């Protein structure tokens, strides 16, 4: 039957006659195998098995076994201060407080896509309003800021409020805890891929959980987060995670329990 089928096809090509014009009787003689009936195993695969990771304590947000611990309450050995060298923020009582006489700090290591956990708190007696109240930020790959700001009963422009992609996308909701309490960020970041002309083939994307509430869900980052002007796109590779020292006059905020997993 296979031979007959091939002959028919060959004849159709040679003569320029489409197979669909063959006499009905001839077409009926062709037989084709039925697809094999599906079995469960046909849509299952077993390798590679995902590696085993021991999760941290979800009540304390401790790092899972494959995380890089960036700050465990002891020192800033994983960090540096751009333009200065040693990170000069103040480590005390298992936390690190921004040093407003110093600059930003950033990781010594560069990262592409990642899952980042960090916790931050503004002083209970913080004062100030709008952007001048506990301003800091997580600046991904040295150019894309997820805003940190005390927006507990404090309004500002929404695309610059807490958990916004700064000057781009507001958070879905305001999940702030009150001053003096600890806020938790879990940030899942997908690094961009660039075309040869320097524009994004795949733009960077970010998902942010603020106190376990999804406030950015696979949000496209349009470019660098500019204070003045609009996002700029320029090719880059992996980069550090930077924490912002903002020059606003309000009391300095603190961080603790910072860890990252490369994706
Ligand atoms: Mg900021």
- Record the pTM: 0.85
State whether CATH 2.40.10.220 applies to domain 68-262: no
pLDDT digits (tens, 9 = 90+) for 186-219: 999 999 999 999 999 999 999 999 999 999 999 9
In this structure, what are the phi and psi dihedrals at residue 83, rounded to the nearest 5 degrees?
A: 80, -5
- The pLDDT assigned to 260 comes to 98
Q: Are 208 and 187 in contact (CB under 8 A)?
A: yes
130 C-alpha to ligand 1 centroid (Å): 11
**139 Cα: distance to centroid of ligand 1 (angstroms):** 9
Please report, for the chain, the start and end positions of each structural domain, with discontinuous segments joined by +: 1-31, 68-262
**How many helices (DSSP H) and strands (DSSP E) are in the chain?**
2, 16
C-alpha 49 – ligand 1 centre gap (Å): 41
Q: In the block, which residue shows the tokens 């006499």?
A: 23
pLDDT of residue 50 exceeding 90, the answer is no
Dist. CA 149 → ligand 1 center (Å):
7
Res. 28: pLDDT tops 90: no
pLDDT for 150-175, tens place per residue?
999 999 999 999 999 999 999 999 99
Q: What is the mean pLDDT of residues 73-99?
A: 97
Output the pLDDT for position 26: 56
Torsion sign (Cα): 15, 18, 24, 30 = positive
The structure tokens 């079995």 sit at 39
Which position has the token pair 């869900």? Answer: 217
For the four alpha carbons of 48, 54, 57 and 61, in that order, the dihedral sign comes to: negative
């Amino acid at each position: 039957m296979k031979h007959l089928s091939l002959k028919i096809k060959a004849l159709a090509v040679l003569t320029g006659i489409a197979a669909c014009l063959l006499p009905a009787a001839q077409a009926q003689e062709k037989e084709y195998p039925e697809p094999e009936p599906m079995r469960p195993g046909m849509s299952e695969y077993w390798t590679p098995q995902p590696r085993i990771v021991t999760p941290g304590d979800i009540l304390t947000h401790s790092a899972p076994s494959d995380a890089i611990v960036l700050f465990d309450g002891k020192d800033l050995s994983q960090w540096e201060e751009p333009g200065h060298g040693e990170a000069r923020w103040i480590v005390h009582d298992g936390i690190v407080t921004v040093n407003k006489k110093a600059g930003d700090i950033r990781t010594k290591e560069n990262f592409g896509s990642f899952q980042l956990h960090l916790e931050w708190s503004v002083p209970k007696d913080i004062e100030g309003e709008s952007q001048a109240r506990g301003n800091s930020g997580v600046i991904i790959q040295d150019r894309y800021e997820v805003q940190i700001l005390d927006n507990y009963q404090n309004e500002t422009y929404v695309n610059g409020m807490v958990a916004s992609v700064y000057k781009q996308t507001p958070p879905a909701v305001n999940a702030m805890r009150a001053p003096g309490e600890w806020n938790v960020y879990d940030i899942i970041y997908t690094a961009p891929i660039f075309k040869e002309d320097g524009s994004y083939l795949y733009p960077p994307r970010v998902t942010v959980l603020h106190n376990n509430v999804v406030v950015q869900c696979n949000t496209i980052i349009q470019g660098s987060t500019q204070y003045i002007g609009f996002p700029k796109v320029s090719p880059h590779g992996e980069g550090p995670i930077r924490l912002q020292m903002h020059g606003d006059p309000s009391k300095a905020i603190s961080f603790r329990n910072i860890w990252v997993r490369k994706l």
